[in-house]
């Protein structure tokens, strides 16, 4: 059943953290240091619903803090940093207690916390607090950022137990066969979305629904040895009964214990986690660099000055002394680190702060394996930008500006360039909010001619609030883009931000045409569908506009940079085939909970949406009856009108009849056609392999699932017919005990398709007399209803499935679980049913914050105007494993066409305006291609419209050649466009050249 308001708020996060999320409201976390990294950690924890977050900082707010500390306002200058941050954080989540502490971090004070996070702390304090936490069993985290680099350290104690190490649900598969032997061999099927093997050596599995070898059902978990993608060895089955059919083999979650050293020990003997072994020397050098930085600060009382060679060399000397016993040192890395270590960058703080916050959530929820024990992150490739090496100490010196932390890295001239940018952000959801927050801190479009446009059609919902930082409870139902733009203005009033509420797609190309995209400096995609992301990629490719594409799912995320003429255009993964299961599987032979949930979704639409739409159309359109073919639709309309309830009791009776039809009669009919002992051929049982033999259910009003179904179905049926519902379970039970239904009588001669192969349908002769009577009844019904003053228009209320409507999910969950019981499939809980049926992508603030930070690091390079492929990075992260992989994007591919080499970014551009100011003719386009490129065109198309075909007859060709491009569009009833993309084919081109030719773009008057 549905959960609380808090559960609705955190629903997407629950799919990431699982049952361990229940521990969050009971936990207290200390975050020490409230500059950029600490602010990111604290914000993520408050949004995630941590019970108590205590902020510690003894410093006061200064102007430079606002480079990366997004919680502070100008009015906070001079105030304590923790207290100022506490006021902002308290607004984020009413279910979280946020406190400020400005005193000492004593042992007594620390004792009450589940997790302690230190940011911006001197090494001496880290060691002292680390030892206290290690001794008391308090999970301890250090997170620090300096310039373009960051470090993360975790100590969760010597015996930290992870309850659930894996991401996602445990895998399960339908059993095809189990041998009798020692060991027994299980042959199982794959799943619709599986690639490679589902199980791994050492996994523990259980069995359910096995027929024949029933000894395995309910057996203690057994370890497996994987033979191949579809076969597992298990324990001795030689004494078990022979396997007959059916069953499910399911992975069992196994706990995992981790052992961590204290910070004091881990400094000298570091265990550093890296994405690949090649990264280890770099991380070891950064480990020494951070220690050397602490030593430099103790020695000089400050950080190295930006771009000061003497300071960088001194830090390098300190690092050399530290690395003497630990192997070679990459001196270029240390020197680069030192050069910008005084800098503060919001994107770096976002990445490291998000990683640290995820480790806090691991400590509390015991979901996912924690970091073991050090992680280093850097974007020092930014210093290889052309001209960056020539920046001087004067270029990067403080200006008393809110951007001083950024100027320390990139210089004052670059900051001015950031202000001039014109950017489009498509999507103001989770990633969009984090991007906009970062843009405000960076000063993107904060200059007099800057422009930042954010567009989103959606409105704020309760389930957004746990990860979409710019929104509050008061903003629910307000347009996201408008609320987000206002939040950006509050963070940085200089940013010139404009909110749109439009989709960017084919329907809005009059607003977002080629001219619009070509005047932009870049586009940031924060979209959540493959189709929308693909469209945006095509628009940016066509207009040669840089694009930053970001996406997340659970703890995984990626950032892809598309740079004109430099990188390969983006190719987002193909869209998942939601609900694309074989129809015969859904209707008659389900074997997984995904099948029964999709069946329940189809039931919902077939019961509460389509019939109401058909009846309303019948009532509103006098020609409806004449437009329908004889048969099903008319019968459905007649049936819907006949079933109209008079009151709530009628709705309950209808739901009870539907229960009987779905979970008893339909199954009894299937078993009448194919009895349990039925054989496909002699000795080959029908109910085997991917077919599990079902059993009918017997209704019991005292069974919670049975009652849940009737209650939800009756409620929805009542809503469709505008009957007031009732939620009194006891009253409904009493009604149900009085319902008497006729006994089941099987139908003879009914055929059930066993495959998806098309079969010839038996043509049943139309019964014209019956059809005439049915039509007459419907006409009379409509006249009576139209003449009834009490009849509302439209007559019925179609209900469209909504994943955040609890009654909808109540129905889906009960309907699916009852069908699962029919077929011996393990049921799914309410939340899991909501996720699968609603096709909800698991989401959490930590991943979106990290991804947005990584995207903004690439934006620095785009604004700089970098044309060195080696400076850019595509990123993939997995916060569950604390892995971050950043690789150089693939270069733009080239191809040969028409005797020369082309880049995938090349295009032919024709100003299609004649001397008379009119659009040119088709013949003029053909002549231009012949004159400029020497190509003889055989066919010219605009979309599916043929503008010229050399194989047409002479009269048709002459007419085509004389047509102006604008006239051709009018004749084809295509919308008027200023910019056309034409497809052409030429004499002598290769058969494989269809997708390998430069596009022809024509600008009309």
Residues with catalytic function: 584
Cα 139 to Cα 577: distance, rounded to the nearest angstrom? 42
Cα 463 to Cα 705: distance, rounded to the nearest angstrom? 26
Read off the tokens for 930.
Answer: 């012949």
352: buried, middle or exposed (CB in 10 Å: 19+, 13-18, 0-12)?
buried
136-155: b (≥16 Cβ within 10 Å) or e: eebbbbbbbbbbbbbbbbbb
Q: Are 153 and 142 in contact (CB under 8 A)?
A: yes
Q: Are 635 and 642 in contact (CB under 8 A)?
A: no
Phi/psi zone of residue 137: left (φ > 0), alpha (ψ -120 to 50 degrees), beta? left
DSSP string, 653-691: HHHHHHHHIIIIIHHHHHHHHS-TT-EEETTEESS-TT-
The distance from CA 933 to its chain's CA centroid, rounded to whole angstroms, is: 45
Look at the alpha carbons of 533, 538, 543, 545 in this order and tell me if their dihedral is positive or negative: positive
543-575: b (≥16 Cβ within 10 Å) or e: bebbbbbbbbebbbbbbbbbbbebbbbbebeee
Q: What is the four-CA torsion angle of 406, 411, 415, 420, rounded to 10 degrees? A: -150
Residue 385, CA distances (Å) to 335, 349, 390, 568 in order:
16, 21, 10, 20
Read off the tokens for 2.
Answer: 């549905």
Cα 346 to Cα 119: distance, rounded to the nearest angstrom? 14
Overall residue count recorded for the chain in this entry: 1005
The distance from CA 968 to its chain's CA centroid, rounded to whole angstroms, is: 42
- Name the 3-class secondary structure at 337: helix
Checking 753-761 for CB contacts under 8 A at 24+ apart, the result is 753/583, 753/584, 754/584, 755/582, 755/584, 756/582, 756/583, 756/584
In 3D space, the residue among 597, 643, 633 whose CA is nearest the CA of residue 613 turns out to be 633
Cα 382 to Cα 255: distance, rounded to the nearest angstrom? 41
* Strand order, beta sheet including 979-986: 908-911, 1000-1003, 979-986, 937-942, 945-949
Cα 685 to Cα 688: distance, rounded to the nearest angstrom? 6
Cα 949 to Cα 985: distance, rounded to the nearest angstrom? 10
């Amino acid at each position: 059943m549905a959960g609380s308001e808090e559960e609705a708020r955190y629903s997407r996060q629950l799919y990431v953290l699982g049952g361990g999320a229940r521990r969050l409201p009971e936990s207290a976390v200390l975050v020490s240091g409230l500059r950029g990294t600490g602010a990111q950690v604290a914000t993520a924890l408050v949004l995630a619903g941590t019970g108590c977050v205590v902020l510690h900082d003894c410093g006061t707010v200064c102007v430079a803090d606002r480079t990366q500390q997004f919680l502070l306002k100008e009015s906070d200058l001079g105030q304590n940093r923790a207290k100022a941050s506490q006021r902002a954080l308290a607004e984020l989540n009413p279910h979280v207690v946020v406190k400020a502490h400005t005193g000492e971090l004593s042992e007594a004070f620390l004792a009450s916390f589940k997790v302690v996070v230190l940011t911006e702390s001197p090494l001496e304090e880290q060691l002292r607090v680390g030892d206290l936490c290690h001794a008391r069993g308090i999970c301890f985290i250090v997170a620090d950022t300096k310039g373009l680099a960051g470090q993360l350290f975790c100590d969760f104690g010597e015996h930290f137990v992870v309850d659930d190490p894996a991401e996602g649900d445990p895998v399960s598969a339908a059993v095809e066969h189990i041998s009798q032997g020692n060991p027994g061999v299980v042959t199982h099927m794959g799943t619709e979305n599986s690639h490679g093997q589902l199980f791994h050596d050492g996994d523990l599995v259980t069995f359910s629904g096995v027929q024949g070898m029933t000894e395995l059902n309910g057996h203690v978990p057994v370890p497996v040895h994987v033979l191949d993608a579809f076969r597992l060895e298990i324990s001795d089955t030689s004494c078990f009964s022979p396997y007959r059919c059916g069953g499910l083999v399911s992975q069992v979650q196994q706990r995992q214990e981790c052992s961590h050293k204290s910070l004091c020990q881990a400094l000298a003997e570091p265990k550093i986690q890296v994405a690949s072994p090649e990264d280890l020397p770099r991380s070891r050098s950064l480990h020494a660099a951070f220690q050397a930085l602490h030593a430099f600060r103790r020695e000089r009382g400050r950080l190295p000055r930006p771009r000061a060679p003497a300071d960088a060399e001194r830090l390098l000397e300190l690092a050399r002394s530290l690395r003497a016993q630990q192997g070679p040192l990459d001196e270029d890395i240390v020197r680069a680190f030192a050069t910008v270590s005084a800098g503060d960058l919001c994107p770096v703080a976002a990445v490291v702060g998000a990683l640290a916050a995820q480790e806090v959530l691991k400590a509390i929820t015991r979901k996912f394996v924690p970091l073991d024990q050090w992680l280093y992150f850097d974007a020092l490739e930014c210093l290889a930008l052309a001209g960056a090496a020539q920046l001087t100490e004067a270029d990067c010196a403080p200006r008393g500006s809110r951007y001083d932390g950024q100027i320390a890295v990139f210089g004052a001239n670059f900051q001015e360039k950031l202000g001039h940018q014109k950017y489009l952000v498509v999507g103001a959801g989770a990633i969009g909010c984090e991007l906009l927050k970062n843009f405000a801190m960076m000063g993107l479009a904060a200059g007099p001619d800057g422009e930042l446009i954010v567009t989103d059609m959606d409105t704020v919902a309760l389930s957004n609030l746990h990860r979409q930082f710019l929104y509050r409870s008061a903003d629910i139902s307000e347009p996201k883009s408008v609320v987000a733009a206002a939040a950006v203005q509050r963070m940085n009033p200089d940013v010139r931000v404009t909110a749109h509420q439009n989709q960017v797609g084919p329907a809005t190309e009059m607003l977002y045409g080629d001219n619009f995209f070509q005047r932009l400096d870049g586009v940031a995609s924060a979209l959540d569908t493959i189709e929308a992301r693909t469209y945006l990629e095509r628009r940016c490719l066509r207009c040669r506009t840089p694009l930053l594409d970001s996406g997340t799912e659970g703890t995984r995320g990626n950032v892809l940079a598309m740079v004109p003429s430099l990188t390969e255009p983006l190719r987002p993964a193909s869209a998942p085939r939601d609900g694309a299961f074989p129809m015969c599987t859904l209707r008659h032979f389900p074997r997984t909970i995904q099948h029964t949930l999709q069946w329940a979704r189809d039931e919902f639409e077939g019961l509460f949406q389509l019939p109401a739409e058909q009846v309303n159309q019948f009532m509103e359109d006098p020609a409806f009856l004449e437009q329908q073919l004889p048969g099903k639709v008319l019968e459905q309309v007649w049936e819907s009108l006949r079933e109209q309830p008079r009151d709530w009791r009628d709705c309950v009776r209808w739901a009870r009849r539907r229960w009987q039809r779905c979970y008893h009669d339909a199954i009894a009919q299937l078993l009448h056609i194919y009895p349990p002992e039925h054989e496909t051929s002699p000795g080959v049982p029908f109910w085997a392999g991917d077919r599990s033999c079902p059993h009918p259910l017997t209704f019991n009003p005292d069974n919670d699932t049975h009652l849940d179904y009737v209650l939800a179905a009756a409620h929805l049926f009542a809503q469709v017919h505008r009957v007031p519902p009732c939620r009194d379970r006891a009253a409904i039970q009493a009604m149900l005990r009085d319902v008497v239904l006729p006994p089941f009588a099987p139908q003879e001669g009914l055929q059930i398709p066993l495959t998806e192969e098309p079969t010839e349908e038996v043509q049943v002769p139309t019964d014209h007399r019956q059809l005439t009577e049915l039509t007459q009844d419907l006409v009379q019904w409509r006249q009576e209803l139209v003449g009834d003053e009490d009849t509302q228009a439209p007559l019925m209320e179609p209900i469209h499935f909504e994943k955040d409507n609890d009654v909808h999910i109540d129905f889906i969950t009960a309907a699916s679980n009852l069908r699962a019981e029919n077929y011996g499939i393990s049921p799914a809980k309410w939340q899991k049913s909501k996720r699968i049926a609603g096709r909800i992508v698991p989401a959490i603030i930590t991943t979106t914050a990290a991804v947005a930070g990584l995207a903004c690091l690439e934006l620095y390079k785009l604004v700089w105007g970098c044309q060195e492929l080696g400076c850019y990075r595509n990123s993939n992260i997995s916060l569950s494993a604390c892995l971050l992989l950043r690789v150089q994007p693939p270069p733009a591919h080239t191809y040969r066409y028409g005797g020369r080499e082309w880049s995938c970014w090349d295009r032919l551009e024709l100003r299609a305006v004649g001397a008379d100011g009119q659009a040119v003719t088709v013949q003029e386009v053909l002549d231009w291609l012949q004159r400029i490129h020497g190509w003889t065109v055989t066919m010219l198309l605009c979309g599916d419209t043929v503008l010229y075909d050399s194989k047409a007859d002479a009269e048709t060709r002459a007419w085509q050649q004389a047509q102006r491009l604008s006239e051709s569009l009018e004749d084809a009833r295509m919308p008027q466009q200023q910019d056309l993309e034409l497809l052409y084919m030429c004499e002598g081109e290769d058969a494989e050249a269809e997708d390998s030719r430069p596009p022809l773009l024509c600008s009309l008057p």
